[in-house]
Structure 1
Amino acid sequence: MSYLTLHNIQKSYFLDRQEFPVLKGIDLSFNLGEFVSILGESGGGKSTLMNIIGGLDRNFQGSVNVNGKQLDHNNEKELDRYRRETVGYIYQSYNLINHLTVLDNVLVSLDMTTLDKAAREKRARALLKEVGLVEQAGKYPNHLSGGQKQRVAIARALASDPKVIIADEPTGALDAQNTAEVLKILDNIASQGRLVIAVTHSQIVADAGTRIVHMENGRINKDIALRPAYKPMKTDGTIKSRLLPAIVSYKTALKHLKFNFGRNALIVLGTTIGLFSVILFNGIGNGVSKYIDNQVTSISNPRLVTVAKYDKKTAGNSSAMAAMSTSATAGGTTSNLTNAQIKRIEQLKNVADVDKSYTVTAATVKDGQKTVTLSTIKNWNNTANTDNLLKGTKPGIGEIVLDKADAKKINKDWRKVVGDNIAVSYQAENKAGKMVLVKANVLVSGVAEAKNSMGMTNLTAMNTGTLTHAMVKANVSTLPTSVSVVASSTAAVSGVKKRINALQSNGKRVFTATALTSFIKTVKTYVNLASTLLAAIASISLVVSALMIIVSMFMSVSSRVKEIGILRALGQSKKDIRRLFTSESLILGVTSATVATIIAYGLGALANMALSSLANFAIVQISIGNVVGTFVIALVIALIAAWMPSRRAAKMNPIDALAAE
């Protein structure tokens, strides 16, 4: 039984509605061990017949039987497998892949076999040695002569150990010496028990085979046996085919990108600029938000809720900043909180501590012979932060801490004020409604400064017991106008604030509670909005980057049409072609994101160093989330950019692709 049989093969081309028959009922049988030359003039149908035998042409009538089984030309997957397992191609124009080395060109076929990496490379080198090119394995095709290129093509055709070798004008571009060498190799291939089919118009090539099939005008008019076919050899069939692994597509894509490094570096640079800008602006947003946290926390406890009596006139002004700047004078009686009201607050859920707050305005301080006026004096309570102490300790009984600016009013060398005994006095209304002088002699226990308040917060504070004792002596009410409530946790602040604002007496609202977190949240909203806006502006460049990759991928597809045809002829599927070009786009995207991340971290570090003299804080803080988000953006851009070009490449007719120049 013949190994390969063609029965009543008919093929026509159509121009508009006019039919042009090319093959007019071809019946042929081929056996293993034959070196068959299909001879004829151009236009006789030789190449069309070759494409049908090779599983590239699907649109014809008739049947092709391989080893007793009909080949289904309507099943694309079966044809891909047929080309991987059974057929090896040798072309007149060599059809080597320029961006792959000689060794890699041979390995293209072996990548679709079950051999391991070491075995694949060993076989590829053995085949190159067989054709006399093992020493050229690391060179690229453009460094080889025509004869050398054809021998590489022969080694590639033999790589997967196919049963059928189809040679399309294998000596058409060679001189006499190389022609003789190639024909000798082809005859040797046939002697190994393979079927060699050479399509040619050269009588010299035809005479080198075991049989000549002459075609004319789409028909076979002669079938001449020149000498007996070689006896088929039994093989153990150790080389089996497989679908192309995804990793091979990525490696091939990487090789092509490396081969065209200059052009691809520019594409990566353009994409990097957009991605870097997005990372950096998000990093600035993170840093500024944390800087605000740090600034505000240094002023006061972030778990703090300031509570005063509810007043319809000021009900609309409920910001935390307003609460922070409340200047209720110690000793006033108009809006004092009663002990019973304070008790109600203490009993609420998640309230950890409640401290009375007093504020003294326009106090006179006498230190020896020097008298100065201080704008405010508060009591030292849970709003105070010992981290702000520059020298000394927090105030105990009979002590006061001075703000650095107030201390300088007393002595330019503010450090020397610590330990001084000073007299503090201020005017307040007593319980009888008369203005009296509240006096206290205190020791300066320390000097403080709000390190991050930009001078907006005065930290002069007297021990609470000392201040209230002086108020009692002057018959001034010690009921506070506000209290400082500390929530059990930062997360509980919002709930505590809501519960306090919800308290009522006789159906009317009693308190106004304001939290520092509200202020922080508001400021952060503006910061995030600004950073997001900047990132959005920067992302416009990503649109340009995406267009660059799209253009690059279309250019890549257009310049590699023949390569697509070669890969399809070797047995790669449409999916493999799509994956090849998608891989290139993804590599460009990932490389861009990687470079962008490195640059962003580098410039961010430099910016933080440059700004350290202005703010002892890292203003640029790039999070893992920012980096992950950037990589996601890069991958999305790459996938979108590859979508159309990769599908265009996969849809190409392999016959047309092989014919491309």
Structure 2
Amino acid sequence: MSFLELKNIHKSYHLGSQTFPVLKGINLAFDLGDFVSILGESGGGKSTLMNIIGGLDRNFDGSVTIKGKALNHKNEKALDTYRRETIGYIYQSYNLISHLTVLDNVLVSLDMTTLSKKARVLRAKELLARVGLAGQIKKYPNQLSGGQKQRVAIARALASDPKVIIADEPTGALDSENTKEVLRLLNEIASEGRLVITVTHSEAVANAGTRIVRLADGKIESDKRIRQAYDRQDKEHLSSRPLRRLASIKTAFKHFRHNLGTNSLIIFGTAIGLFSVILFSGLGNGVSHYISSQITKVANPQVMSVSRYVKDSDDDNALSMSTDDTPALSTNQLDQLKKQKHVAKVEPTYSIPSATVSYQNQTVKMRYASNWTAASTADAIKIGHAPKKAGEVVIDQDAIAKKLDKEHYQDLIGKQIQLAYQTNKPSGETVTVSLTATISGIGHSDSKGAQVNAVNTETLQKAMQQAGLSTDPTEASVKVDTLDHVEEVASSIDKVKDGHNRLYKTSTIQSLIKQLQTYVNIATFVLSMVAAISLIVSALMIIVTMFMSVSKRTKEIGILRALGESKRDIRWLFIAESLITGVLSATVATVIAYLAQRGINGVLRNLADYTFVQITFRNVITAFFLAIMISLLAALLPARRAAKLNPIDALSAE
């Protein structure tokens, strides 16, 4: 039984309604150890027959059998395995991969064997030494002569240890000396017990083998043995396996590196968009945290503001301010609030609008003040202590203290000031509230424009009573036992009713922070959408580049398919290259973003001692996720197109 047989092979090409027969019933048998030359003129069907034997052409009638078993040309995976395990190709045009070194060109076949990495490299070097190229392994194909390129092709064809070597016009582009060397190597290969099939139109080449099959007009004209075939040698051959994903990534990276200039521009363009997303997200984080920190510095987050519910109120979430038309809270209502679960303390809240501060014949306008409650925080007091005792007051450092004594404002601690402001009685009569208090502390807020002015509650209430005013507050500060219960208590108080009418409206620091953070998030989102435009442009750049890459690498795709790579391997090759672009883009974007964060925070530190750009690990992960998704989406269509290319058409591309 012959090793390889062709049985009744018919092949026709169709152009419109016309049919052009190329092979007309070919029957041939081949044995290992033979060096068979298929001789014929151009257009006689030699190359078509070679493609059928090599498992590249699937559309024909008849059968190809290997050791008596028919090869299923309808099964894509079976053909991939057949080419990977059984066939080695040598081409007239060499078909080396230009962006790979001589060594890497040979390793392409070895990557589909079960050998270890070290063994693959050793075998590649041994084969290159065998063909006389031991000193050329680091060179690229464009640095070799024609004869050297063909010897690399021979080494690559032998790399996976195939049983059949198909040589298509292997000496067509060589001079006489290199022709002799190639024919010597082919005979040597056949003598190892392999089947060598050479397609040629040269009588000299045909006579170098052991058998000549003449093909004319699609038929076997003659089949003549000119010398005895070499002895078959039973030996173990290398085992094959599907291409490793890591091998595809490495090949993709080598092509990426080979076109580093173009790819760098794409990386930079994509990185700009990703950098914007990271930076704007980091800015949003910083601003949100800044707002939260500034509010909690002047207001205790465990304390909420409670006022009477007014049905026509425009904003139930905003912090309440005392107004003339807001109903006051009665003593019974304050007691009702104290009885709510998790409430630790309830204090009346009073606002002092536009007061006059007098000290040693000096007067200063105090824009806003209030009584000291649990809502106030000691963090805002820079010198002294809170006005917790009767007759004490805290004044703002910049707005009041420095205006009273610019050089030695710290010495005001313990000094007495007079404070007066005007307000209206329910009847509309204007009255002046006056009080004398001792400065217990000097406060300062990091928030621009904010002032820290607060009077002891008992002292303010006494002054109000002396002016004939009611001390029933329009707001109350309700302190909750723990921060975790604040939202629960707020919800509970908002649900208190007098019959069918809601009684109270609450406002927490958290609700204000959340509202402000919502605005920040919206602004961040809008800025990120602007950045997304550049990401879309980057994705289009990657798509165009990948399509161009597929067009430029069409022959490479054909070579890889001929070597046994599957459609999935081709898809993964281009996807891997796109992913490399995406990951590197995200890496560059992250580096730039952190550098920008450092620079921006350094500049803004002159305005406020705070880190306004806060890039988190989550922001970076998001950028990498976006980069990978963009790369994958951009690569899908080009990769799919590459995988669908017909290997025969791809190999004939220029």
TM-score normalised by length of structure 1: 0.93
Residue aligning to 1:216: 216
Which of 504, 509, 527 does residue 516 from structure 1 map onto? 509
What is the aligned partner in structure 2 of residue 411 from structure 1? 405
Structure 1 segment 641-660 matched on structure 2, within 5 A? 641-660=634-653
- More off after superposition, 161-170 vs 401-410: 401-410
CA separation in 1, counterparts of 2:552 and 2:587? Answer: 28
Deviation at 1:283, TM superposition (A): 2.1
1:381 aligns with 2:379: no
Aligned to 2:592: 599
Q: Which deviates the most, 6-15 or 492-501?
A: 492-501
Counterpart Cα distance in 2 of 1:257 and 1:4:
40
Task: Indicate the residue corresponding to 2:449 in structure 1.
Answer: 455
Structure 1 residue 473, shift from structure 2 partner: 7.2
Q: Report the alpha carbon displacement of residue 587 of structure 1 after superposing the two structures with TM.
A: 1.2
Instruction: State the distance in 2 between where 1:320 and 1:118 align.
Output: 70
Q: Distance in 2 between matches of 1:256 and 1:377?
A: 70
Give the Cα separation in 2 of the matches to 1:376 and 1:585: 60
What's 1:160 paired with? 160
Q: 610-619 or 520-529, which moves further after superposition?
A: 520-529
Distance 1:154 1:289 in 2: 66
- CA shift in 2, pair 1:437/1:13, >3 Å: closer
1:391: how far off? 1.4
Q: 2:185 aligned with 1:191, yes or no?
A: no
Q: 2: CA distance between counterparts of 1:3 and 1:626?
A: 61
Offset, 1:552? 0.5
Partner of residue 530 from structure 1, selected from 523, 527, 531: 523
> 2-side partners of 1:433 and 1:657: how far apart?
94
Question: What is the SS of the residue equivalent to 1:621?
Answer: coil
The aligned counterpart of 1:242 is: 241
* Equivalent residue, structure 2, for 1:142: 142
Q: Which residue of 2 aligns with 1:258?
A: 257
Q: Gaps spanning 5+ residues in structure 2: where?
A: none
1:395 matched to 2:376? The reply is no
Q: 1:7 to 1:364 in 2, by over 3 A?
A: closer
On the 8 A contact 1:612/1:618 being kept in 2, the answer is yes
CA distance in 2, matches of 1:607, 1:410: 37
1:480 maps to what in 2? 473
1:553 aligns with: 546
| Higher mean displacement: 475-484 or 111-120 | 475-484
Distance, in Å, in 2 between the alignment partners of 1:173 and 1:451 is 81
What SS is found at the alignment partner of 1:308? strand
Q: Which one-letter code corresponds to 2:373 in the other structure?
A: N
Q: Secondary structure at the match of 1:208?
A: coil
Query: Could you tell me which residue of structure 2 aligns to residue 273 of structure 1?
Result: 272
Q: Bigger CA drift: 127-136 or 296-305?
A: 296-305
CA distance in structure 1 between the aligned counterparts of 2:130 and 2:271, rounded to whole angstroms: 47
In the alignment, which residue of structure 2 is the partner of 1:34?
34
How many equivalent pairs are there?
651
Given that residues 336 and 480 in structure 1 are in contact (C-alpha distance below 8 angstroms), is that contact kept between their aligned partners in structure 2?
yes
Q: 1:302-321, aligned counterparts within 5 Å?
A: 302-312=301-311, 315-321=313-319
> Residue 150 and residue 401 in structure 1: after superposition, are their counterparts in 2 closer, same or farther (change >3 A)?
same
Change (3 A) 1:366 1:58: closer
* Conserved? CA contact 2:372–2:388, under 8 Å: no
The reply on whether 1:583 has 2:579 as its aligned counterpart is: no
Q: Which stretch shifts more, 46-55 or 363-372? A: 363-372
Aligned sequence identity (%): 55
Q: From the superposition, tell whether residues 526 and 360 of structure 1 become closer, same or farther in structure 2 (CA, over 3 Å).
A: closer
> Relative to structure 1, is the Cα distance of residues 287 and 361 closer, same or farther in structure 2, using a 3 angstrom cutoff?
closer
How far apart, CA to CA, are the structure 2 residues paired with 1:171 and 1:84? 24
Q: Distance in 1 between matches of 2:441 and 2:334?
A: 30
Q: Which whole-Å deviations, capped at 9, do the CAs of 1:159-182 have from their partners, x for residues lacking one?
A: 011111111111000000000001
Q: Do the aligned partners of 1:431 and 1:477 also contact (CA within 8 Å) in 2?
A: no
* Contact in 2 for aligned 1:407/1:417 (Cα 8 Å): yes
Equivalent position SS for 2:44: coil
Residue 498 of structure 1: how far off its partner (Å): 3.0
CA distance in 2 between partners of 1:520 and 1:573 (Å): 57
Kept in 1, the 8 Å contact 2:322–2:350? The answer is: no
Shift of 1:515: 2.7
- Aligned match of 2:416: 421
More off after superposition, 483-492 vs 411-420: 483-492
Pairwise CA distance, 1:376: 4.6
Q: Map of 1:79-90 to 2, 5 A cutoff?
A: 79-90=79-90
Change (3 A) 1:118 1:433: closer
Q: Could you say what secondary structure the match of 2:602 adopts?
A: helix
TM-score (norm 2): 0.94
Structure 1 151/435 Cα, relative in aligned 2: closer, same or farther at 3 Å?
Answer: closer
| Alpha-carbon distance, 1:119 to partner | 0.5
2:53 and 2:366 map into 1 onto residues whose CA distance is 103
1:562 to 555, 568, 571: 555
Q: Greater CA deviation, 114-123 or 518-527?
A: 518-527
User: 2:384–2:413: 8 Å Cα contact kept in structure 1?
Assistant: yes
- 1:64-113 deviation line (CA, Å, top 9, x unaligned): 11112111111111111010001100010100000011000000000000
CA RMSD of aligned residues (A): 2.5
Amino acid at match of 1:500: I
Q: Retained in 1: the 8 A contact 2:39–2:213?
A: yes
Indicate how the Cα distance of structure 1 residues 588 and 60 shifts in structure 2: closer, same or farther if over 3 A, else same.
same
